[in-house]
C-alpha cells in the first residue's frame, strides 16, 4: 500500500456458524450477469477515533462474523461451470461460508483534515484507503465477495469496503452495513431480521443462463495511453436551502400538471446540464443521463421491498445536447422523472430477455458506452449514512473509491446536515476547472 497507508494484517472472517451446508445456491439473473465485468463498488465511511479501550479491530471482526451469518451470501464464492455442449459458461453463488477478507491498516500521519480538503477536491492518496481496486465481479470465483479495510488514522478511522455487485446492490449493501454496525454497537442486544432472498422471479427465462465463454473472461489489461486526459474527483455539496431553491426553479418551469419534481431529480438535472455545457460535445449529438432502476417493486408480482440481492439495472434518459441546454432545468428534470416512472414490469422483463438473447460486449464493461456526453448517477441520497454508528460515534463523511472510474460518474450520497446531498463527481480535469468557474452552476451549489 502507499499514500502513508501501511497494511498491518490481512485475515478471513467467516460467519460465526461454521456449518453453512443448509444454505441454498443463489442463481444469477440477467441483472446480475450484466455486471460480470464491473469493478467491485467501493465505499468508505470516515469516523472519529475511538477510545483505545474500545478494542476496535477485535470488535469489528467479531461483529462482522455475526453479521455474515445473517448476510451469508457475502461470505460465499462465485462458481463458474462450463457447458461443453455449447461452449458457454454459467454462474451461481455458493454460500459456502468461505468468508470475507478483513484488512487492518494504519495511516498514522494522515489526519481527517487531509482527507476532507476544504475546496472539495478528493486527494489522490485517498485511493489507498479502499481495498482491492482491481477486482471485477467475474473474479469472485477466486477472490472474496466482500473485502473490508479498516484504516486507523492520526485522529480518525476510515472503514471502507468493496463488494461484488452480482451479490448485492446498494439497497442490500446498506442493509448489511446497518446490521453490522448495530451488532457492533449493541452486542447481543440487536435482533436482526432473517434475510429474505429474492428467489427466481423471471418467468420464461431458464436458469442457469448460458454465456459465451469469451464474455466471461477478463479482458487483457488495457495499455494506458499517455494521451488520455485524466479524471479528477470533486465533492459538490447541495444544502437543504440549495435543493429547495433548485426544486422550486425546476417546478416553476414546467406545466402545473407536471409539477412534483423531486429533490433528487432537480439535483441530477442540474448536474447533467452543467457537465454537458462544458463537455465539448457538439449541439446535435445525443446525451444520456443513466440512472439506476430498482426492479423490486416494479416487477409483477412485486418482490419484497428489502429482499436481498442485486435487483437493479441502468436506464438512460436521452436527448440532444441542444435540447438539454436550451430547454432548461425543469424540462431536464422532467425527462429524468419520466424515465424512472415509465419503467414497468414490461421494461424489466424486456431488459432481461434481450440480455439473454444477445449476450455480448460484456467485456467492454461500463466504460464502453460512456463518452463525454454521458453521465451515470450511482448510489442514492436515500441511503442513510449517518446513522451507521459502530459504537463510538457517527460517521463524519462518506466517500466512493476509485473503482469503475469513468468521466461522468456521479456518486450521490446523503449529506451530513439533514436534507442535504453530496455529489462525488468523477470528471475530466478540464471539466472540473470549468465547473468551478461557472456562475450558473455555482449559484445552486456549495463548494465545501
Kindly list the distances between the CA atom of residue 106 and the CA atoms of 3, 7, 103, 163, 301, in Å, as whole numbers in the listed order. 11, 6, 10, 22, 49
Least distance in angstroms from the C-beta of 345 to ligand NAG:
35
Question: Which of 379, 380, 364, 373 is CA-nearest to residue 428?
Answer: 373
Q: Which is nearer to ligand NAG, 165 or 249 (CB)?
A: 249
* C-alpha dist (Å) from residue 192 to 18, 85, 399: 19, 45, 27
State which residue, 56 or 235, has the beta carbon closest to ligand NAG. 235
Instruction: Name the minimum Å distance from CB 438 to ligand NAG.
Output: 14
245 vs 285, beta carbon nearer ligand NAG: 245
Catalytic residue among 165, 270, 278, 288: 165
Annotated catalytic residue 237: no
Q: Which residue is nearest to ligand NAG (CB)?
A: 22
**How many Å apart are CA 205 and CA 225, to the nearest integer?**
41
Residues 321-360 that bind ligand NAG (CB under 6 A): none
φ/ψ (deg, to 5) at 261: -65, 135
Q: According to CB under 6 A, which one of 2, 9, 19, 193 is a site residue for ligand NAG? A: 19
297: helix, coil or strand?
Answer: coil
Query: Rounded to whole angstroms, how far apart are CA atoms 70 and 85?
Result: 38
Residues 237-256 close enough to bind ligand NAG by CB under 6 A = 239, 241-242, 245
Q: How far is the CB of 331 from ligand NAG (least distance, A)?
A: 19
Say what the alpha-carbon torsion angle 338, 339, 345, 346 is, to the nearest 10 degrees: 110
Number of residues in contact with ligand NAG under rule CB under 6 A: 10
Within 278-392, residue ranges assigned H as helices are 321-327, 329-341, 345-357
Nearer to ligand NAG, 98 or 446 (CB): 446
Chosen residue from 14, 98, 343, 446 binding ligand NAG by CB under 6 A: 446
**Residue 21 interacts with ligand NAG (CB under 6 A): yes or no:** yes
Distances (CA, A) of 162 to 95, 110, 148, 216, 231: 18, 22, 7, 21, 21
Stretch that binds ligand NAG, among 18-26, 135-143, 144-152, 178-186 (CB under 6 A): 18-26
Selected range binding ligand NAG among 205-213, 236-244, 302-310, 395-403, rule: CB under 6 A: 236-244
Peptide bond into 301 cis (omega under 30): yes
The strand pair at 100-107 and 146-153 is best described as parallel
Indicate whether 443 belongs to the interface with ligand NAG (CB under 6 A): yes
For position 18 contacting ligand NAG by CB under 6 A, the verdict is: no
Q: Closest CB to ligand NAG among 170 and 330?
A: 330
CB 114 within 8 A of CB 69: no
The catalytically annotated residue of 94, 114, 389, 438 is 389
Using the minimum distance from each CB to ligand NAG, give the nearer residue, 118 or 189: 118
Q: How far is CA 263 from CA 207, 245, 445, in A?
A: 39, 10, 13
389 included as an active-site residue: yes
Residues that bind ligand NAG (CB under 6 A): 19, 21-22, 239, 241-242, 245, 443-444, 446
The set of catalytic residues is 165, 389
Amino acid at each position: 500500500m502507499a499514500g502513508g497507508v501501511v497494511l498491518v494484517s490481512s485475515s478471513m472472517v467467516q460467519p460465526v456458524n461454521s456449518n453453512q451446508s443448509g444454505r441454498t445456491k443463489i442463481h444469477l439473473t440477467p441483472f446480475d450477469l450484466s455486471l460480470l465485468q464491473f469493478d467491485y463498488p467501493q465505499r468508505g465511511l470516515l469516523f472519529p477515533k475511538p477510545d483505545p479501550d474500545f478494542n476496535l479491530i477485535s470488535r469489528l471482526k467479531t461483529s462482522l462474523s455475526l453479521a455474515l451469518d445473517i448476510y451469508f451470501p457475502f461470505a460465499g464464492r462465485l462458481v463458474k461451470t462450463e457447458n461443453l455442449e455449447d461452449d458457454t459458461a454459467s454462474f451461481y453463488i455458493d454460500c459456502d461460508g468461505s468468508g470475507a477478507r478483513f484488512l487492518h491498516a494504519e495511516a498514522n500521519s494522515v489526519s481527517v483534515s487531509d482527507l476532507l480538503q476544504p475546496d472539495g477536491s478528493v486527494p489522490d492518496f485517498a485511493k489507498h484507503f479502499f481495498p482491492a481496486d482491481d477486482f471485477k465481479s467475474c473474479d469472485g470465483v477466486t477472490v472474496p465477495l466482500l473485502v473490508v479495510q479498516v484504516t486507523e488514522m492520526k485522529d480518525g478511522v476510515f472503514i471502507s469496503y468493496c463488494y461484488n455487485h452480482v451479490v448485492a446492490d446498494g439497497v442490500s449493501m446498506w442493509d448489511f452495513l446497518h446490521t453490522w454496525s448495530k451488532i457492533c454497537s449493541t452486542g447481543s442486544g440487536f435482533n436482526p431480521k432473517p434475510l429474505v432472498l429474492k428467489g427466481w422471479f423471471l418467468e420464461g427465462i431458464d436458469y442457469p443462463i448460458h454465456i459465451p465463454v469469451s464474455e466471461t473472461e477478463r479482458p487483457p489489461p488495457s495499455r494506458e495511453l499517455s494521451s488520455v486526459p485524466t479524471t479528477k474527483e470533486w465533492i459538490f455539496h447541495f444544502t437543504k436551502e440549495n435543493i429547495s431553491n433548485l426544486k422550486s426553479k425546476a417546478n416553476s418551469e414546467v406545466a402545473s400538471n407536471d409539477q412534483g419534481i423531486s429533490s433528487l431529480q432537480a439535483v441530477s438535472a442540474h448536474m447533467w446540464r452543467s457537465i454537458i455545457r462544458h463537455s465539448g460535445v457538439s449541439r446535435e449529438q445525443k446525451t444520456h443521463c443513466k440512472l439506476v432502476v430498482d426492479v423490486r417493486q416494479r416487477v409483477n408480482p412485486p418482490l419484497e421491498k428489502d429482499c436481498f440481492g442485486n435487483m437493479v439495472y441502468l436506464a438512460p434518459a436521452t436527448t440532444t445536447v441542444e435540447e438539454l441546454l436550451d430547454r432548461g432545468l425543469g424540462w431536464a428534470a422532467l425527462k429524468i422523472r419520466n424515465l424512472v416512472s415509465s419503467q414497468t414490469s414490461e421494461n424489466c422483463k424486456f431488459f432481461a430477455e434481450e440480455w439473454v438473447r444477445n449476450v455480448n460486449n460484456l467485456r467492454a464493461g461500463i466504460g464502453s458506452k460512456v463518452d463525454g456526453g454521458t453521465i451515470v448517477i450511482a448510489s442514492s441520497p436515500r441511503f442513510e449514512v449517518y446513522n451507521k454508528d459502530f459504537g463510538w460515534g457517527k460517521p463524519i463523511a462518506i466517500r466512493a473509491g476509485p473503482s469503475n472510474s469513468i468521466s461522468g460518474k456521479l456518486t450521490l450520497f446523503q449529506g451530513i446536515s439533514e436534507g442535504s446531498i453530496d455529489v462525488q463527481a468523477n470528471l475530466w480535469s478540464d471539466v472540473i476547472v470549468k465547473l468551478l468557474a461557472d456562475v450558473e452552476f455555482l449559484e445552486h451549489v456549495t463548494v465545501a
